[in-house]
Structure 1
Amino acid sequence: MIYTTNAIERTIKEIRKRLKPMNSLNSLEAAEKIVYLTIQDFNEKWAGRKLRGFAEAQEALERMFEERYC
Structure 2
Amino acid sequence: MGLAPADVGIAWLLTRPGVTAPIIGPRTMAQFEGSLGATSITLEQAQLDRLDELFPGKQAAPMEYAW
The TM-score bracket by the shorter chain reads 0.3 to 0.5
Q: Which has the larger radius of gyration?
A: 1
More helix by share: 1
How does the TM-score come out when normalised to structure 2? Answer: 0.33
How does the TM-score come out when normalised to structure 1? Answer: 0.32
Name which structure has the greater RCO, CA cutoff 8 Å, separation 6+.
1
